[in-house]
């Protein structure tokens, strides 16, 4: 399987810590290469570059809301990212374990909000 053809569902099944960035047509046009660079830089900054893989994936089915980055394990899709928000996702979610609700896909945002409410 070539670069960019990996499916995010496959990475989620494997479950290794990973940030899966869509590099298919629409996300590429929306700036996926910048997101790749920002994710790699933020993982270095967080001291996690050796533990968390950056993977390029095929389309993740959020084409109108790219660029898209999904945090694994857990399959958390973040939408409409830019380099600054990508850094926030890496530092707050991947390093600190605190998902960023404002950039999370709304279905996952609702699910997470319910889980937080149940814990309170
Ligand atoms: S092209 Fe990236 S989600 Fe479809």
Write the DSSP assignment of 24-42 as a string of letters.
SHHHHHHTHHHHHHHHHHH
Ligand 1 centre to CA of 22 (Å) is: 6
- DSSP per residue over 50-88, as a string? TTSEEEEES--S-GGG-S-EEEETTTEEE-S--HHHHHH
pLDDT band at residue 112 under the 50/70/90 scheme: confident
54 pLDDT more than 60: yes
Residue tagged 């709304």 (tokens): 106
Evaluate whether 84 touches 45 at the Cβ level (below 8 Å).
no
* Topology adopted by domain 8-119: Glutaredoxin (3.40.30)
**Ligand 1 atom closest to Cα of residue 26:** 1
Q: For residue range 2-50, list pLDDT tens digits in order.
A: 454 899 999 999 989 999 999 999 999 999 999 999 999 999 999 999 9
**Ligand 1 atom closest to Cα of residue 59:** 4
Per-domain residue ranges for the chain? 8-119
Mean pLDDT across the chain: 91
| 55 alpha-carbon distance from chain centroid | 10
pTM above 0.85, yes or no: yes
């Amino acid at each position: 399987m070539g670069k960019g053809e990996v499916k995010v569902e496959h990475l989620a099944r494997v479950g290794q810590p990973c940030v899966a960035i869509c590099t298919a047509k629409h996300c590429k046009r929306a700036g996926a290469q910048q997101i790749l660079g920002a994710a790699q830089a933020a993982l270095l900054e967080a001291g996690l570059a050796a533990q968390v893989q950056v993977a390029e994936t095929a389309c993740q089915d959020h084409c109108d809301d790219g660029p898209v980055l999904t945090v694994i394990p857990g399959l958390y899709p973040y939408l409409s990212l830019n380099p600054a928000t990508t850094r926030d996702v890496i530092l707050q979610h991947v390093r600190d374990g605190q998902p960023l609700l404002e950039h999370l896909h709304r279905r996952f945002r609702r699910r997470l909000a319910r889980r937080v409410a149940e814990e309170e």
